[in-house]
Amino acid sequence: MKFSSPSVFCRQFLLAATFALATSSGIAAYPDKPIKMLIGYAPGSSTDIVGRMVAQDLSLLLKQPIIVENRGGAAGSIAAEAVAKASPDGYTILFAQNGLAINVAANPKLPFNGMKDLVPVVGVSATPHILIMNINSPIKNVAELIADLKANPGKRSFASSGIGNSDHMAGELFLSLTNTQAIHVPYKGGAPAATDVLGGQIDFYFAGMPVGYPLYKADKVRALAVTSKQRFSGAPELPTVLESGVAEYDMSLWQGVFVPAGTPKEVMNTLTASVLKILDTPEMKDRFIKAGVQIAPLNQVRFSDLYFSDITRWKRVIEKVNIKLD
């Protein structure tokens, strides 16, 4: 029988031990089992549509299934709480939007600490909302909508995907800055909200682009404006709310991935690099354009800056315009 020399044996032992240690820590092998992605909104909502696109391509890249689970309610806080309290190993992640920052800013009684319990990992998109109405509405532009609201205070209705969500705040900000009133009707997602706009039960809705844009392009709804400072490249014919006469109006919907605090840095790096890689593919860019979504890739540092600065921003806005989220 032939034995290895002591030095060779030691090197082999150290290599084996290092590999075993890395594997047992879950870092070197990540991911070695399915990943669960929680989304705090109903199927068919803007965040659900984008989250599922990301999950599909991320699953192919990582060679592991990514199971999307919708846990709607409480402006996304049910899903956020579940992820905040999950094991910090990278196998339970959150796909969220700026409704999370709004909720953290507005509600100090959340069952988790939005500043400490969740870590922003990678930004995916930043897209304006699109102001839509029933196709048969006599209102043709933002000025006419404001005039109608002033002539009928408290008699018109606007939808949202839930109290405190980005589309809700887009509507509340509009009403505050135009000194008008309307009845807020929250839904459990963007799709059912848009359905009632189509049916004429709701007067207007600041829909997320993945929900409202396809309906507009299919001539199923009338679009009056977009909510960002600049016009949306997918529909340059639509004015912004700002240029339609509503001073200081600016609202966009960002989306991205979060993990529980304490998740290993190596795992977060893998998620960040992987998501940024799939966002840079021609196939993903084409799918985003067709969905009316603007890709806005942000690494962990930049996405963290966006998240925490948005919390600060919304605290100021909520106090300034006295928006009530209860």
- Count the Cβ atoms, other than its own, within 10 Å of residue 286: 10
Does residue 111 sit in the same domain as residue 160?
Answer: no
* 144 and 218 assigned to the same domain: yes
Which residues of the chain fall short of a pLDDT of 70?
1-28, 324-326
Q: Does residue 287 belong to any structural domain of this protein? A: yes
- Number of domain units in the chain: 2
- Residue 275, Cβ neighbours under 10 Å: how many? 23
Supply the pLDDT for residue 300.
98
141 lies in the same domain as 107: no
Host domain of residue 146: 128-226
| Position 18 in a domain | no
What is the CATH classification number for the domain harbouring 58? 3.40.190.150
Is 62 found in the same domain as 39? yes
DSSP letter, residue 303: H
| pLDDT confidence of residue 266 | 97
CATH, residue 171: 3.40.190.10
What pLDDT does 326 receive? 60
Measure Cα distances from 162 to 1, 107, 155, 159 in Å.
73, 14, 20, 8
Q: What is the pLDDT of residue 4?
A: 43
Residue 119 β-bridge partners = 259
Phi, psi of 80 (to 5 degrees): -60, -40
Q: Specify whether 259 is located in the same domain as 122.
A: yes
The answer as to whether 173 is a domain residue is yes
CA neighbours closer than 13 Å in the CB half-sphere of residue 237: 5
Calculate the alpha carbon distances from 237 to 49, 52, 137, 230, 320 in Å.
24, 29, 19, 12, 32
Any domain includes 26: no
Judge if 132 and 222 occupy the same domain. Answer: yes
What's the pTM?
A: 0.81
Asked if residue 209 lies in contact with residue 130, where contact means CB atoms within 8 angstroms, the answer is yes
pLDDT attached to residue 325:
67
